[in-house]
Structure 1
Amino acid sequence: MLILKIFRDDEWQELRNQGETLGAPIDIADGYLHFSTPEQAAETAAKHFADEDDLWLLGLEADALGDKLVWEPSRGGALFPHLYRPLKLDDVAWAQPLPLQDGVHQFPAGVL
């Protein structure tokens, strides 16, 4: 199953340069990395990244993350994937820019 992570450009560059990361400041504060399913990603972008440009969308295979990926209730009681270990660059199946156009993030075709 595909899960998604939105990173700001500097967060993505850190992962690329270091080979692993504990995530964005909110991830570090919460003690896990926040992910979304494709069905949740547009709302996540609008709620947590409103008006932010220079974003990256990372796609990962949930099954490859092992037992440190836990599905927990969050927004509206929906289950969200949370990773309780550093994210490794090797975990990322693909990364694509997530541009902002007219106030709406433009997800790659076929992702949502």
Structure 2
Amino acid sequence: MSSKIIYKIVPQQMWQEAQKTGIFTGAPIDIEDGYIHFSTADQVKATAAKHFAGQNDLLLVAVDAALLGHELKYEVSRGGALFPHLYANLDLQYVQSVVALPLGEDGVHLFPEL
């Protein structure tokens, strides 16, 4: 079975707090909306530009969507696209990788190859 990786952009300090408990409960917007917002590989750069423009100290967290079960739902969001939403806390055991998401000289985030 092939895995489908989804991504969450998280401020470093918020992620460090999650590492203390092994559970990421979400950013304030996630808690307000009732689910953790994720993006697919095709969506995450636009997410960074729209919601995290100019922000430093961010991390790109990769999660195998298949491990999240029925609490992960793809729902219509920005521009009518289907975005992954997790209706649960994220257990850090499902995280595949965490990499820095630095700003380039042009102020745009520098992404690894996805």
* Alpha-carbon distance in 1 for matches of 2:20, 2:70: 26
2:32 aligned partner? 29
Deviation at 1:21, TM superposition (A): 2.1
Give the TM-score of the pair, scaled to structure 2.
0.94
2:110 aligned partner? 106
* Structure 1 position 45 matched with structure 2 position 45: no
* Percent identity between the two aligned chains: 54
Following TM superposition, where does structure 1 have runs of at least 4 consecutive aligned residues deviating by more than 4 angstroms? none
Contact 2:101 2:110 in 1 (8 A): yes
Quick one: which of 90, 95, 105 aligns to 2:93? 90
Contact 1:15 1:88 in 2 (8 A): no
1:7 aligned partner? 10
2:79 aligned partner? 76
Equivalenced residue count is 110
Q: Provide Cα deviations, 1:2-28, integer angstroms capped at 9, x if missing partner.
A: 100000011111111111021100000
**RMSD across aligned positions (CA):** 0.7
Give the TM-score of the pair, scaled to structure 1.
0.96
Provide structure 1 residue ranges, at least 5 long, that are not aligned to the other structure. Answer: none
- Secondary structure of the 2:39 match is coil
Provide structure 2 residue ranges, at least 5 long, that are not aligned to the other structure. Answer: none
Amino acid at match of 1:97: A
Contact 1:9 1:54 in 2 (8 A): yes
